[in-house]
Amino acid sequence: MALSTPYWIDANNQDIAFPDTSLALTEPDGLLAIGGDLSPKRLLTAYSNGIFPWYNEGEPILWWSPNPRAVLFPTQLKISRSLRKTLAKNNVTITIDNTFKEVVNACGEPRKNQPGTWITPDMRTAYYTMHKLGHAHSIECWHNNQLVGGLYGMSIGQVFFGESMFSRKTDSSKLALVHLVHKLQEWGFQLIDCQVRTAHLTSLGAKDIPREQFIQHLYQWCSTPPKPAAWTTNVLHVGQ
């Protein structure tokens, strides 16, 4: 049975345990807990248990675990005919971890018809720290030496948790994701967490699965390391 109100986390309490995700509210979908902090230990615990932070500036930290959960299995990546044409142009370069802060900042810029952003200053600082610790990574798409798109997320075991994407050129974030998925397959990754399904991600093969199934995948794959080569390269693709 879901909680009637979200679980409260005391930021001063060193206990980083979260309530079981099955207790998350059904309305709003997946809201599980409020409060706490964005320390590396708490973030790693959250992600490996299917929980992520998402809140607006001025609000307390909100922790979510929606049901169903949007995921992309790397072997089920879909590339549309139009995207194949864009890939064939081969005019972009894709890199890893070259400009992590710039990617996060670009993802945090207000979108059209959206006055604010959920990537608050505290969130940015937290993911900068996770990047320094080797847990968070960025994928960059370059055209004519200009950053035109990309994405960032967390990596735990054989699971990549996508956080946000941005595009300044048509399909640039999709190109970054396609090249990342191909590399994740090579590294032995089993799952990409997309959090909530969107038309953008669905076009690439993302689908909804029950939260319970998602959590079982995490228990299996977050504790299994990827191949040693994972995240050791800085260039995924060099365009011409």
Give helix 81-89 / helix 172-187 axis angle, nearest 10°.
90
| 208 and 222 belong to one structural domain | yes
- Give how many domains the chain has, as a whole number: 2
Distance in angstroms between the alpha carbons of the first and the last residue of the chain: 56
At 133 the three-state DSSP class reads coil
Contact 148, 58 (CB under 8 A): no
| 91 and 24 belong to one structural domain | no
Q: Is the pTM of this model over 0.75?
A: yes
| 120 and 85 belong to one structural domain | yes
**Would 179 be classed as within a structural domain?**
yes
Give pLDDT tens digits for 21-38: 999 999 999 999 999 999
Measured between alpha carbons, how far is 240 from 226 in angstroms, rounded to an integer? 30
| 55 and 21 belong to one structural domain | yes
Share of residues in the chain with pLDDT > 70 (%): 96
| 44 and 106 belong to one structural domain | no
**Would 200 be classed as within a structural domain?**
yes
pLDDT for 216:
98
pLDDT for 109:
87
Q: 142 forms bridges with which residues in the sheet?
A: 93, 147
Q: Range of 194's domain? A: 70-237
**Would 47 be classed as within a structural domain?**
yes
| 149 and 37 belong to one structural domain | no
**Would 1 be classed as within a structural domain?**
no
Q: What residues of the chain score a pLDDT lower than 50?
A: none
| 105 and 53 belong to one structural domain | no
Boundary of a domain, candidates 23, 50, 67: 67
Boundary of a domain, candidates 67, 96, 116: 67
CATH of residue 16: 3.30.70.3550
Residue owning tokens 């320390």: 39
CATH of residue 74: 3.40.630.70
Give pLDDT tens digits for 216-234: 999 999 999 999 999 999 9
| 31 and 93 belong to one structural domain | no
pLDDT for 34:
96
Q: Which one-letter DSSP state was computed for residue 111? A: P
At 75 the three-state DSSP class reads helix
- The closest of 167, 156, 220, 234 to 193, measured between CA atoms, is 156
| 142 and 220 belong to one structural domain | yes
| 53 and 169 belong to one structural domain | no
| 211 and 169 belong to one structural domain | yes
Boundary of a domain, candidates 67, 88, 116: 67
| 185 and 130 belong to one structural domain | yes
Structure tokens at 99: 């400009």
- The closest of 105, 200, 96, 194 to 140, measured between CA atoms, is 96
Measured between alpha carbons, how far is 117 from 49 in angstroms, rounded to an integer? 25
